[in-house]
Amino acid sequence: MAAQAVGCDIRRAMPGGVAVEMIHAYSLIHDDLPAMDDDDLRRGRPTTHIAFDEATAILAGDALIPMAFEHLLTHVPDPILASLCIRRLSKAAGPEALVGGQMEDLAAESGGEQTLARLEAIHRRKTGALIDASVAIGGLLGGGDQAALAALAAYSRPLGLAFQVVDDCLDHSAAADDMGKRTGKDAARGKLTYPGLLGLDAAKKYADSLIDQAISAISVFGNDASRLNWTAGFVRDRKR
């Protein structure tokens, strides 16, 4: 969708989409492990360590990481462009972002500063980092210039936070059958969440304001950003 926004055939961005989803899938497999978030249900199906075993889940996640980078190297013909995408994705998946954010998320269960700034710092490094990388890589593979990439970044940053705010609200209020995973578990584990800090109604309003920021950032693309606009609306209104 980001590639389309910068005027490119969306198919050129597919290697980036596949690579990001490999990293995303690994992160979900590992997040569900007993030592992490300890979930037994994902998308309405048993999590990997439940369906198979814990060792298989760890190794499956491990395997997806190098596969993501191999996929980019194999399917992006321009080696410089491939290296830019790999750098962007590896940074999003590493200690500065996804891994470090998960560590801080686990640490927050044990107490410490319970503030919106800390919560946002966690989620900018987790969900936000992968959404940022997905949009940035789409823009890169689509041939976007620096101004276009800056506009895409101004879209993805609030969108990533909004996704997590809505996710927290759904965990607080939705049924497990609708979500395809256990709900109410974050509060039970003492996790730092947006409804816990702000209240449910205020958290929903905050999500709305973030979505508005995201949509405003891509107005420069006109109709080419129609799918990115749709995605922002989907994040706002999703029920699972």
The domain limits of the chain are 2-237
Q: pTM of this prediction? A: 0.88
- For residue 233, CA distances in Å to 22, 37, 211 come to 25, 28, 8
The mean of the pLDDT values for the chain is: 91
- Using one digit for the tens of pLDDT, what is the confidence trace for 13-62? 999 999 999 999 999 999 999 999 899 999 889 999 999 999 999 999 99
Q: Is domain 2-237 classified as CATH 2.60.120.560?
A: no
CA of 131: how far to CAs of 17, 50, 136, in Å?
Answer: 11, 27, 8
pLDDT at site 186: 60
d(C-alpha 155, C-alpha 214), whole Å: 4
Residues 29 and 167: beta-carbon distance below 8 Å: no
Tens-place pLDDT, residues 188-230: 566 788 998 999 999 999 999 999 999 999 999 999 999 999 9
